[in-house]
Amino acid sequence: MSIEPVRDVRRKTADETAWFVAGGLLIVAGLITAVSVLRQWSLCESPASQACLTLKQTMNMLPIQADTIALRVPWAAPLAALALTLATGAWIALLLLNPFARSLKIFGAVVAIPLVVMSIGGWFGVWSVEGWVARGGTWIVIGTISEFLALGFLVYATMSRYAVNLVTTQRLVVLLFGVTAFGTMHQSAEFILLGLADQAGTGVPQYLGLGTALTLVLTGAGVIVLTLRARKNPHAGAPSIAG
């Protein structure tokens, strides 16, 4: 029977805590997103109503629901912005709590920059609808940057001097897919998928945003499940995650 050094036990505990916190934040973000989306689309309880038809023509991509204040259902936009903030917080929490190598944390901090900007922009859009809409192109660019930086981080994490093991790589892939769920490519993919069922093509597909909610919940749950599996098989993978 071998006894692990105290330092190793602490690092393992910190690693598990980081993943559990990050996964939990994504799940909460997903549930809040679902509530936000359902509240906003409650305007379409009567699909033929003028409010619903107008919403479909003015609905923006998450996190800022309707483009006009008159169509915003109470609490829908603030809840969406909160969900975006929690998703960003999941990534920041992982960086702060996990004993990653310093170089990985620095690159991870770079990935966090556009995510934080998007979160701030989300709250800006809650209080200034016109300002949000006027900068629509900027949010699209920032969302795309966040997704490409996430891909770059994955490549760096697996090929750098302090390359992470397979188990950690799997969790990073799942986590980052959830963290960037509000990014442009994710949102566009959801728009296209929902649009396939909307043969009438009457503007934005109804319930746009539920796919984002589902992505957040599933990726958060996936991170937690993978972490529990890693606990049962602690020797999976060779390279250390810590430098």
Over residues 24-39, the mean pLDDT reads: 96
Residue 109 lies in a domain: yes
The whole-angstrom separation of Cα 112 and Cα 164 is 19
- Quote the pLDDT of residue 242: 40
Range of the domain at 105: 6-232
pLDDT at 95 over 60: yes
pLDDT at 8 over 90: no
Over residues 8-16, the mean pLDDT reads: 82
- Quote the pLDDT of residue 111: 97
Contact assessment for residue 220 and residue 177, using Cβ atoms and an 8 Å cutoff: no
CB atoms within 10 A of CB 241: 21
Q: What is the pLDDT of residues 174-203, one digit of tens each?
A: 999 999 999 888 888 888 887 777 656 567
SS3 199: coil
Over residues 108-122, the mean pLDDT reads: 94
Residue 145 lies in a domain: yes
| Type of residue numbered 40 | Q
Mean pLDDT of the residues in the chain: 86
The whole-angstrom separation of Cα 48 and Cα 226 is 45
> Hey, what are 95's tokens?
């960086």
Residue 241 lies in a domain: no
- Quote the pLDDT of residue 60: 67
Q: What is the pLDDT of residues 52-93, one digit of tens each?
A: 888 888 776 655 667 778 888 889 889 999 999 999 999 999
Residue 243 lies in a domain: no
- Quote the pLDDT of residue 202: 65
Q: What is the pLDDT of residues 146-165, one digit of tens each?
A: 999 999 999 999 988 878 88
Residue 237 lies in a domain: no
**Domain tally, the chain:** 1
Over residues 96-118, the mean pLDDT reads: 94
Residue 238 lies in a domain: no
Sorting pLDDT into bands at 50, 70 and 90, what band is 239?
very low
| Type of residue numbered 14 | A
Sorting pLDDT into bands at 50, 70 and 90, what band is 125?
confident
pLDDT at 215 over 50: yes
Q: Which residue has the tokens 């910190």?
A: 14
